[in-house]
Chain A
Amino acid sequence: MSDSITLQVVRYRPDEEDAGPVVVDYEVPLRRDWAILDALNHIKDELDGTLSYRWSCRMGICGSCGMMINGEPKLTCATFLVDLAPGPVHVAPLANFPVIRDLIVDITDFMQKLGRVKPWLIRDEEKPVDDGEYLQTPAELSDFKQFSMCINCMLCYAACPVYGLDGEFVGPAAIALAHRYNLDSRDEGERERLTILAQPEGVWDCTFVGECSAACPKGVDPAGAIQQAKLAAAQDAVKSLLLPWRSR
């Protein structure tokens, strides 16, 4: 095994003239225990301090370090150099998002969409705190648990060609989280969320490419969630057509 590997890092420096993205090669040690993120930290510490990228936890929880590795959306802290040897390894910012600088993308659009689907418990009437917690059985928990594993890393948005082509699409993670709360036995906000999800740019924009679920590092199935939400939206539409007096 060679003792070094080349990282081809896409760099974008908006403060320089003719600042289109350029690829810069960096030779880094090929260590068995190094993930791409360790190699990027090595570049920043030892080779070129101007390189910019986001990271935090180094253990696949914070969801900050998502990038395109050899064209695939990956968490750089969970993608190891040895698995990509002999290289070179192409490192680019997450696809489908505007690039602020080097490997940092603007996530404002995702943050706004996440808020729009109201990913929190909604109650018609809040119980007084003295009455204690909203209880739930293990079976009720298992209904939505996998969808609650999302770490908002946005790899699914980078994998989704629909989001790339139509920026209005609410997108996989936000819909999966909305669905997670809709499935929660303690929640009563399904109708509120449905007004957002049942829009054309909500669930109906999804054409079930399925790549969001393939890209998810936490085993969430956003594509499945979106189809289940489609079914729920369609059932709701039929119900309100047949039983108009029951819909509010």
Chain B
Amino acid sequence: MTSHLEARYHRQRVPLLWWARRRSYAMFMLRELSSAFVALFVVELLFLIRAVGRGPAAYEGYLDALAHPAMIVVNVVAVAFVLLHAVTFANLTPRAMVVKVRGRRVPSRAVLAGVYFGWLVVTAVLAWLVVG
């Protein structure tokens, strides 16, 4: 129920382009948008699995489709967004996770270093699997 006093309140509306008015809001929207590109890579991966399952001809077709200039441009943009996603996500970790060792709080920098080190290890293992 709205009282007659509340009915006279001025309700401030959030403008449609609220995120364009401040750099930090715009960065946040870019980070949100980056999830779409993460999803794009998942879809690409699913298509790859399907192509591999269907045999060498389908796999060649998949590679040809990816070699199309338009796909290369899309994928370069997607890599940039996925990196933004990963880096911003990693950088937020020390604020979301309080790590304690023997009752003492581990400094944020050490937590962050741990995250990047883990990322490096996973990347190295994947690179070894793909290249090696």
Contacts and interface: CB of A to CB of B under 8 A. Distances in A.
B24 A207 contact: no
B32 interface: yes
A99 interface: yes
A227 B25 contact: no
B30 to A, nearest CB: 12
Interface in A63-96: 71, 93, 95-96
Nearest to B104: A139
Nearest to A166: B14
Interface string A187-204: 000000000000000000
A71 to B, nearest CB: 7
Interface string A9-37: 00010100001110000000000000000
B9 A98 contact: yes
Interface residues of A, number: 32
A135 interface: no
A141 to B, nearest CB: 13
Interface residues of B, number: 23
A97 B12 contact: yes
Contacts of B103: 139
A161 B19 CA distance: 8
Given A209-B28, A210-B28, A231-B97, A14 B10 contact: yes
15 contacts: A20-B10, A99-B9, A106-B9, A139-B103, A161-B14, A161-B19, A207-B28, A207-B32, A208-B92, A209-B24, A209-B28, A214-B24, A227-B95, A228-B96, A228-B98
Given A139-B103, A161-B25, 15 more contacts: A21-B10, A71-B22, A95-B12, A98-B6, A98-B9, A98-B10, A99-B10, A106-B6, A142-B105, A161-B14, A165-B14, A211-B25, A221-B95, A224-B96, A231-B97
